[in-house]
């Protein structure tokens, strides 16, 4: 089970990650939230990262710092 976060509107989200290849050929890990718990992509919050919430709509993002 990975990291979960409940936003200010009371909706619980689960953190997922996926490795993608950018146009230049560089591989990068992206992090995204989903309302359902996904066993294959669930991940913990990496060290040095924090969760940021948009105050208007409660949308969650992961950012450095």
- Length reported for the chain: 65
Write out pLDDT tens, residues 27-49: 999 999 999 999 999 999 999 99
CB 29 within 8 Å of CB 17: yes
pTM: 0.89
Numbers of helices and strands, H then E, in the chain = 0, 5
Spatial CB neighbours of 58, under 8 Å, sequence gap ≥ 6? 7, 8, 9, 11
Q: Is the pLDDT at 65 greater than 90, yes or no? A: no
C-alpha count within 13 angstroms, C-beta hemisphere, residue 23: 0
């Amino acid at each position: 089970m990975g990291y979960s976060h409940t936003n200010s509107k009371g909706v619980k989200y689960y953190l997922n990650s996926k490795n993608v290849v950018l146009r230049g050929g560089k591989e990068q890990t992206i992090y995204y939230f989903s309302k359902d718990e996904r066993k294959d992509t669930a991940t913990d919050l990496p060290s040095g990262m924090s969760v940021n919430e948009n105050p208007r709509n409660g949308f969650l993002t992961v950012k450095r710092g």
